[in-house]
Chains A and B, each alone.
Chain A
């Protein structure tokens, strides 16, 4: 496979959230605002990228039988690093994301890429793969965050873009938990309708 495809595959064609339907918990939980969604996406991308790199470097040294515990150890180390760094430098964002920062460790997307890709491929390829999947995750979260923030709060990154009147009485439903389910359901339906047709 061409190197460029490695990157775009995870970004669009095999987008973790919107196509493969994994990593749903953070995608629904912290997509209430663009800032939270983008921050969460970058945090997961950081963990995915570095754990992919580490595992790819060590892939010949890790005995097959203990690979899963080793993956988990490496991933949880990077998760703890981003956890503490965020707490120290982005306390507001950290408080908004809450428990979902340490929970990156059980995001199936990350362990899945370690097992299916990084353990079998070179470092460069693993970097591209990690970046593609991670940014694809970020993209999906940010799109959801944008829809929910604009409709549910009348703002985009805190700015009232649909006018002050709409900001006064927005569709509150969208930033409540049910809105998250609705947005991803409709997005998935649109993808089924328009994107699947092209590939067929």
Chain B
């Protein structure tokens, strides 16, 4: 699958990062209590995921691979992402106040978000070129944001619903996520034969 459009749709719908790949579950359950916070988190993830994909792609293909240092991949990637998030936070705070207000508080949470690191690994494992890695990251990020907002909307209604006390909180959220995943399963094979 080399076509960027297919990579985008695959990352967005078919292999949705949260519901199909099970990456980024902590923010998915932790920050999806209201639609507004879900949107901020979603934006922060799209932004950092794209930046992180660029930087780690360059670091891997320009430094680690030629120097035969691939065994440092895990350590280098996580440290790169952690520093990147710090830098972005400082930069936004200073120059783009409105953007910072919208998603700034979610940035520190992203450092240990397995979705970001996972995507950078998948870029390498799939041997994507720079363009495809970018498209893949953006598609994945949008997929994350869409399910995040949908799920937050569901949870806002769940709070008002009469639910058995044992099911309240996490259990019913998991079951709701399971039903969403079931719906997303319907997308699989959509472009499989193209």
Interface positions of A (Cβ within 8 A of B): 21-22, 24-26, 28-29, 69, 72-73, 76-77, 79-80, 83-84, 99, 102-103, 105-108, 111, 173, 176-182, 184-186, 188-190, 192-193
Contacts and interface: CB of A to CB of B under 8 A. Distances in A.
Contacts of B73: 80, 102
Contacts of A111: 112
Interface string B124-139: 0100000000000000
A176 B74 contact: no
Contact of A99 (B24, B29, B125, B172): B125
Contact of B182 (A29, A178, A185): A178
B22 interface: yes
Contact of A178 (B79, B170, B173, B181): B181
Nearest to A28: B22
Say what secondary structure dominates the interface of chain A.
helix
A181 B25 CA distance: 11
B82 A25 contact: no
A162 B168 CA distance: 33
15 contacts: A24-B22, A25-B23, A25-B25, A28-B22, A29-B21, A76-B79, A80-B71, A106-B78, A106-B114, A106-B117, A177-B19, A185-B170, A189-B164, A189-B166, A190-B166
B112 A177 contact: no
Contact of B122 (A21, A99, A176): A99
A188 B71 CA distance: 38
Given A21-B29, A76-B74, A181-B181, A106 B174 contact: no
B171 interface: yes
Nearest to B117: A106
A103 B22 contact: no
Contacts of A181: 174-175, 177-178, 181
A99 B185 contact: no
A114 to B, nearest CB: 12
A106 B164 CA distance: 34
Contacts of B114: 25, 103, 106-107
Interface residues of B, number: 43
A108 B26 contact: yes
B113 interface: yes
A106 B118 CA distance: 9
A69 B79 contact: yes
Interface in B1-37: 19-26, 29
A185 B26 contact: no
Given A25-B22, A76-B78, A102 B121 contact: yes
Nearest to B183: A178
B87 interface: no
B74 A102 contact: yes
A105 B113 CA distance: 10
A181 B79 CA distance: 31
A105 B74 contact: yes
B82 A188 contact: no
Contacts of B118: 99, 103
B179 interface: yes
B190 interface: no
A174 B21 CA distance: 15
